[in-house]
Amino acid sequence: MKKSTLHILKYGLLLYIILITGTASLAQEKIVVASAAKPVVKEEPIITAGDRAEASLIKANEEEESDEPKLTFSGSIDTYFHTSFNTTNNYYGGAYAPSTSFSDLKGFSLGMVNLIATYSGDRAGFTADVVLGPRGQAAVFGTASGQAIINQAFVFYKFSDKVTLNLGQFNTFVGYEVISPTVNFHYSTSYLFSWGPFNHTGARLDFALNNGIVAKLAVMNPTDIVEFNPVNTYTLGAQIGKTSDAGGIWFNFLYGDQDGTLDKDVASVGDASAGKLFQADVTLGYNLSSKFYLGFNASTQSTAPGEEVDANGVIVASGGKASSFYGFAVYPKITLTEKFAIGARAEYFAVTNNHLDIFGLSEESGDGNVIEFTVSGNYKVGGLTFIPEVRIDKTSEKSFTYGTEAKDIMPSFTMAAVYKF
pLDDT digits (tens, 9 = 90+) for 248-305: 999 999 999 999 999 888 888 989 999 999 999 999 999 999 999 999 999 999 999 9
Percentage of residues in the chain with pLDDT exceeding 70? Answer: 84
Q: In this predicted structure, what is the pLDDT of residue 375?
A: 98
Q: Which of 9-13, 113-117, 277-281, 301-305 has the lowest mean pLDDT?
A: 9-13
Q: In this predicted structure, what is the pLDDT of residue 146?
A: 82
Q: How far is it, in rounded angstroms, from Cα 22 to Cα 110?
A: 38
Whether 412 is in a domain gets the answer no
Q: Are 273 and 261 contacting, i.e. CB atoms less than 8 angstroms apart?
A: yes
Instruction: Give kind and range of the element (H or E) at residue 418.
Output: strand 409-420
Q: Average pLDDT, whole number, for the chain?
A: 87
Closest Cα to residue 282, out of 265, 298, 306, 301? 298
Whether 184 is in a domain gets the answer yes
Report strand pairing: 368-381 vs 87-89.
unpaired
Q: In what order do the strands lie in the sheet with 307-309?
A: 272-273, 307-309, 315-317
Does residue 147 surpass a pLDDT of 70?
A: yes
Q: Are 244 and 210 contacting, i.e. CB atoms less than 8 angstroms apart?
A: no
Q: In this predicted structure, what is the pLDDT of residue 356?
A: 97
Higher pLDDT, 187 or 1: 187
Q: Which of 38-52, 107-121, 238-252, 336-350 has the lowest mean pLDDT?
A: 38-52
* Beta-strand runs (E) in 173-234: 199-208, 213-220
Whether 156 is in a domain gets the answer yes
Q: In this predicted structure, what is the pLDDT of residue 319?
A: 87
Q: How far is it, in rounded angstroms, from Cα 252 to Cα 49?
A: 11
Does residue 24 surpass a pLDDT of 60?
A: no
The residue-averaged pLDDT of 188-196 equals: 98
Q: Name 41's Cβ contacts closer than 8 Å, sequence gap at least 6.
A: 30, 31
Domain that holds residue 258: 3-73+110-330+349-366
State residue 254 phi and psi, 5-degree precision: -135, 145
Whether 104 is in a domain gets the answer no
Q: How far is it, in rounded angstroms, from Cα 363 to Cα 240?
A: 39
Whether 342 is in a domain gets the answer no
The amino acid sitting at 36 is A
Label residue 51 by pLDDT band (50, 70, 90): low
Q: How far is it, in rounded angstroms, from Cα 261 to Cα 185?
A: 40
Which range has the top average pLDDT, 7-11, 47-51, 403-407? 403-407
225 DSSP β-pair partners: none
Label residue 3 by pLDDT band (50, 70, 90): very low
pLDDT digits (tens, 9 = 90+) for 121-139: 989 999 999 999 999 999 9
Q: Which long-range contacts (CB under 8 A, 24 or more apart) does 4-10 make?
A: 5/394, 6/371, 9/371, 9/373, 9/394
Q: How far is it, in rounded angstroms, from Cα 390 to Cα 140?
A: 27
Q: How many domains does the chain have?
A: 1
pLDDT digits (tens, 9 = 90+) for 305-355: 999 999 888 999 998 899 999 999 999 999 999 999 999 999 999 999 999
Whether 69 is in a domain gets the answer yes
Label residue 67 by pLDDT band (50, 70, 90): low
